[in-house]
């Protein structure tokens, strides 16, 4: 892993005082670039190896979401972060699905949180550069047929409809309860989880948070009926949600989201940093340890890349 003083960070904001302040804060840790608008930022991205970009959302000409989506095309291994002083749900979901935002940062920011986020982003970008050379993205769904998808939904009709969308190309398993999902995870090498925030009235987020810590190679696609914005931000920052799909489901868009999650799962399998990290931190007392006990028994095969 490269040292932080060799890593490059780009801050984008139309308020000059903000980018100047950020530059002063981090100039001793990184090679810092600043830009007052998206056009300047894209020019910097094209001419320099940028590890992390932190962009404001509300800027004239091009929003932060649109900028990050363009950055993804130009420099896909650059970690993308959105700095925002407001919480608009549609924009947040678009930021994840179109710009692949790695982290949301609030205005005004907490300096320690921002420092930690940048360090994580540099590490992710560094590993992404290596794994992108070693493991190309999948072009066709059939190439990912060995990946198991786990669809978790307490409504039989919804779960079966989700499974039918992917059964022709992938190995799909269904679970009607969180307990069933835990049992399946103890027995199968699941690559992608598709779930709502609630399953039969039970919160699925503890499960996803536990897996993020203990098996970070699993990716998650969240089905949502428009919860509040702060919940979505928390899910992205703390529960490792990779893609969102709005209910009612648009099949073509949903398939693209799941295929992207499968590609990301394969990328994580090639990431040497994402090995098993079994522990008990952030796991609730109401059943969280149960899944950890099961995962401990099966993670030996999970960590082997076939």
pLDDT digits (tens, 9 = 90+) for 277-295: 433 233 343 444 444 444 3
Q: What Cα–Cα distance (Å) separates residue 264 from each residue in 52, 57, 112, 160, 221?
A: 18, 25, 28, 24, 11
132 has pLDDT over 50 = yes
Higher pLDDT pick, 43 / 196: 43
3-state secondary structure of 137: coil
Q: Which domains does the chain have, with CATH numbers?
A: 4-134 (3.40.50.2300), 141-302 (3.40.50.2300)
Residues 168 and 145 sit within 8 Å (Cβ to Cβ): no
* pLDDT tens per residue, range 210-243: 887 777 888 889 887 755 666 677 767 666 678 8
* pLDDT tens per residue, range 252-279: 778 878 888 888 888 777 766 555 543 3
* pLDDT tens per residue, range 79-117: 999 887 665 666 666 667 666 677 888 778 888 989 988
Considering the chain, what is the average pLDDT of its residues? 77
Q: What is the DSSP string of 187-227?
A: HS-EEEEEEESEETTEESHHHHHHHHHH-TT-EEEEEES--
**pLDDT interval class at 2 (50, 70, 90):** very low
pLDDT of residue 249: 79
Rounded distance between C-alpha atoms, residue 304 and residue 77, angstroms: 24
57 has pLDDT over 90 = no
302 has pLDDT over 60 = no
pLDDT of residue 87: 57
């Amino acid at each position: 892993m490269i040292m932080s003083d060799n890593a490059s960070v780009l801050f984008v904001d139309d308020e000059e005082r903000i980018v100047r302040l950020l530059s002063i804060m981090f100039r001793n840790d990184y090679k810092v670039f600043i830009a007052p608008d998206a056009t300047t930022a894209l020019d910097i991205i094209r001419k320099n190896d940028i590890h992390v970009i932190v962009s404001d959302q509300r800027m004239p000409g091009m929003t932060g979401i649109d900028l990050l989506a363009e950055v993804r095309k130009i420099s896909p291994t650059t970690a993308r972060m959105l700095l925002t002083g407001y919480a608009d749900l549609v924009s947040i979901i678009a930021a994840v699905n179109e710009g692949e935002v790695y982290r949301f940062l609030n205005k005004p920011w907490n300096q320690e949180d921002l420092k930690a986020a940048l360090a994580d982003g540099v590490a992710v970008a560094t590993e992404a550069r290596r794994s992108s050379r070693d493991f190309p993205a999948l072009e066709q769904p059939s190439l990912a047929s060995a990946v198991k998808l786990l669809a978790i939904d307490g409504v039989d009709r919804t779960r079966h409809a989700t499974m039918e969308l992917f059964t022709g190309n992938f190995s799909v398993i269904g679970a009607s309860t969180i307990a069933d999902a835990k049992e399946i995870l103890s027995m199968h090498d699941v690559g992608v989880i598709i779930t709502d925030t609630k399953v039969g009235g039970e919160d699925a987020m503890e499960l996803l948070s536990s897996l993020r810590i203990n098996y970070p190679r699993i990716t998650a696609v969240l089905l949502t009926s428009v919860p509040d914005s702060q919940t979505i931000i928390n899910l992205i920052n703390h529960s490792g949600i990779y893609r969102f799909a709005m209910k009612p489901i648009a099949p073509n868009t949903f398939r693209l989201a799941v295929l992207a999650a499968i590609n990301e799962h394969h990328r994580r399998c090639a990431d040497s940093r994402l090995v098993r990290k079994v522990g008990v931190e952030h796991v609730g007392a109401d059943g969280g340890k149960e899944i950890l006990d099961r995962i401990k028994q099966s993670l030996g095969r999970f960590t082997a890349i076939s």
